Amino acid sequence: MKDRWIHTSNALLGRGNLDGDYICALPYSPQCGYFINSDDMIGFGNYKMLLINWLAQKDSSTSVMVILGMGGIGKTTLASNVYETEKSRYDCSAWIAISQVYNICSLLRTTIRHCFKNTKEIPPNVDIMDEHSLIVELREFLKGRSCLVVIDDVWDYVSIGTILKAFFHSEHRNKIIITTREIQIAKFVDQNYMIQMEKLEEREKSCPEELVGIAKDIMEWCCGLPLALVTMGGLLSLREKNNSEWKRVYNNLLYSFDNEPGLNHLKHVLNLSYRYLPEYLKDCFLFCSIFPENSMIKRKHLIRLWIAEGFVEDRAGTTMEELAHDYLSELIRRGMLQVMKRNENGRVKHCRMHCIVREVTISLCKLRGFHMIWGNKESTSAYEARRFAIHGINQSSSEILTYLPHVRTFLSFDVTMSDTLLSRIVCSSRYLTVLDVSGALFIKEVPKQVVSLFNLRYLGLRRTKVKKLPSSLGRLANLQTLDLHHSCISRLPSGITKLEKLQHLFVKTLKDSSFQSLNACSGVGAPSGICKLKSLQTLFTIEASKCFVQQANKLVQLKSFRITKVRGSHCSMLSESIKRMKQLVYLDILASDEEEILDLDISPPPSTLEKLCLRGKLNDSNLLSFFNSFCNNLTCLFLGWSSLSRDPLPLLSQMTNLAFLWLQRAFDGPQLRFVLGWFPRLRRLHLKDMDHLHSLEIEEGSVVSLEVLEMTGLNELNDIPGGIFFLNNLQEVYLDSMHKDFINHQSEGENVEDFPRFIYGHSPNFWRGEDVAYYTSGNYIC
């Protein structure tokens, strides 16, 4: 078959970010085009066809197209939809979100990471390269490669000039799409390569007769802006569907416009949507604007911050986490936040606040003194607010951070945050409730004064260089979350056992950057008495010991549990403890080494258990009883270093709700076969590092929902799996370190010209890499 575009598997799995599931704010990704299918993009068909036709042109050099239009008109949605559809035709691709706040070197680093991720190792020193070195690195990489680039939300030419220089000096044919609101940017390109997006025209749709008149009035008010229509639709969907109620909403719009004529129609819609929010949602919504523009916000992180802030009430019959999730879902239904990524169970994983929604929200926050953001275009002067966020450190930062007695929440999104600045914040803000400096690569010490922050509920030190915590940490009597994930902590102070309100403890250290060993990441030893913490819901990552395993049966309230260095002698007591954890959702067990057997018996397992990760040898003889006990509970399963001699698929196939299956060094046999009817809900399948596997068969009617297939390190597999083209939902096949004959067989079919629709519609894109080492350490499943 023709047009097989070859890249590495890292794009799917995010090699550059081991903490993907826990990151608080990430650069915007166009993944899934805001989850809008092409069929749902009303009024965008002609624009999309123009873009695709331009991309198909065989230009002799790099060419640029600009999408021009006012805010909220759908520029990013259009670009992301085309980008996701077309990027597999290129050797590499990059999505770069500019916004009004940018740093040239940071943009170049982002470009390099996006481009390199599909073909080769990202330069280890990219974070310390200067502008010139970054440009040289990018130009060298682009030699002989084609690249599709989207530069989103450009405000001035200076922000993109340097990036464009790197691409225009490449002899290859690159395609660059720019989205902007500024007509001056569009003038830099050939006017034949400019799309000026217009407002949507009215289309007849079925509507209750009583509402036709008022619906037309509201549509007219929204001025054909997709964002305004979506936001208004979210607002009206939660109101009673009668003329009087909709007219009341419309009258409020008119009243708002008369009183604040300086605002445009879209901002009035957003203001009105905020005013119609229930009181319990208003602070939750305002808080989302504290994250940097064009950031993806991790659901779990956001929920923990909401709870620490006191935004979520303690309601009988439900947990705060469940109630906070309902809050988030309601904000999404109202169109106030956008879903950016969902997990295998369909739950929101990352969300985003549209830049225009955020702009309006920040104005509201200023009026209320809700938060102060430093280091962006809004921070021209300081004002008193209860929450303080650093988005960029400059010369005046030291002065402003010297005295913040009124601040209750401090968040840093700048990697250059230092020990000195952190110490100043802790000393000047004695009533902090939230202190989160995750990602600050230069922070190595925690100020001793932090233990005096009696009100502190959230302490985030993820991805810092902190090696040690104060011995008197136990004085933080109100602490709920302690996040030390991927820090340099090797032991916990004994005082942690006094934190009776502690709910979430994350601690993990990277040991093997190649991620090829069983224990690539390590946990910490459990201080004596940690099992007395009755509020603990999350415990990542504890090293097993005889003392801890004996006491673990007290942790009956755990929902997420990861334990490493488990020995065979621990398994019996550990199994009994797990059976007592009736609320457990996620369980991750790692053996002490590759020869240790995990002889577990957790039948019956907690009925709430959805995600299971077992890394270590498994006993073939008791697998039937072990896996039969899970029935239909599990949705995600990871088996690694299992060394099974029997095909595990017949046993695992009984788990009909599995959506995610990862087998790494799990099977030593020659053949895996997926039989008719097996794994009906499986969406992602990963087969890795099985040296003896030479046959993989997929029968028609098996894994019918499969969307992503990864095959890595299957050195004996020399042919495309039989039946792979029966999988009509399959979107991507990722290949890495495969048998040379496998690649040859794949290439032999590239001359078939008879099935272009099959190729571009149902046939997956084949991605291959050059011996790229990758390992996720379990975060994909959390």
- The answer to whether residues 167 and 237 belong to one domain is no
- The answer to whether residues 229 and 176 belong to one domain is no
Judging by DSSP bridges, how do beta strands 295-298 and 25-27 pair with one another?
Answer: antiparallel
- The answer to whether residues 68 and 180 belong to one domain is yes
**β-pair partners for 194:** 66
- Strand, helix or coil for residue 280: helix
In a domain, 744, yes or no: yes
In a domain, 494, yes or no: no
Q: How far apart are the first and last CA of the chain?
A: 37
In a domain, 632, yes or no: no
Task: List, for residues 443-472, the tens digit of each pLDDT value.
Answer: 999 999 999 999 999 999 999 999 999 999
Domain limit, last residue, from 163, 196, 229? 196
* pLDDT score at 43: 61
* pLDDT score at 763: 38
- The answer to whether residues 72 and 114 belong to one domain is yes
* pLDDT score at 48: 86
- List the structure tokens of 169: 């000096």
* pLDDT score at 322: 93
Spatial contact of 696 and 686, defined as CB atoms under 8 Å apart: no
* pLDDT score at 782: 42
* Rounded CA separation 664/409 (Å): 42
Distance set, CA 454 to CA 255, 343, 365, 445 (Å): 46, 36, 26, 19
Percent above pLDDT 70 for the chain: 82
- The answer to whether residues 179 and 215 belong to one domain is no
In a domain, 247, yes or no: yes
Task: Please tell me the least confidently modeled range out of 87-96, 212-221, 262-271.
Answer: 262-271
Task: List, for residues 339-376, the tens digit of each pLDDT value.
Answer: 888 887 788 999 998 877 888 898 889 889 999 998 75
- The answer to whether residues 276 and 354 belong to one domain is yes
pTM score, two decimals?
A: 0.76
Of 32, 37, 652, 61, residue with least CA distance to 343: 32
- The answer to whether residues 246 and 187 belong to one domain is no
Instruction: Return the DSSP state at 243.
Output: H
Q: What are phi and psi of 741, to 5 degrees?
A: -70, -30
In a domain, 153, yes or no: yes
* pLDDT score at 515: 65
- The answer to whether residues 178 and 55 belong to one domain is yes
Task: Please tell me the least confidently modeled range out of 126-135, 163-172, 491-500.
Answer: 163-172
- The answer to whether residues 780 and 653 belong to one domain is yes
- The answer to whether residues 773 and 742 belong to one domain is yes
214 vs 770, more confident: 214
* Rounded (5°) CA angle 148-154-155: 165
Mean pLDDT of 747-753: 41
Spatial contact of 453 and 425, defined as CB atoms under 8 Å apart: no
Of 235, 439, 454, 219, residue with least CA distance to 335: 235
Would the pLDDT of 173 be above 80? Answer: no
Distance set, CA 50 to CA 67, 133, 175, 555 (Å): 11, 36, 14, 59
Would the pLDDT of 186 be above 90? Answer: no
Of 18, 2, 3, 10, residue with least CA distance to 735: 10
Q: How many distinct structural domains can be found in the chain?
A: 3
- List the structure tokens of 425: 């914040």
- The answer to whether residues 184 and 227 belong to one domain is no
User: How many C-beta atoms surround the C-beta of residue 16 within 10 A?
Assistant: 13
Q: Which residue range(s) make up the domain with 762? A: 638-782
- The answer to whether residues 230 and 189 belong to one domain is no
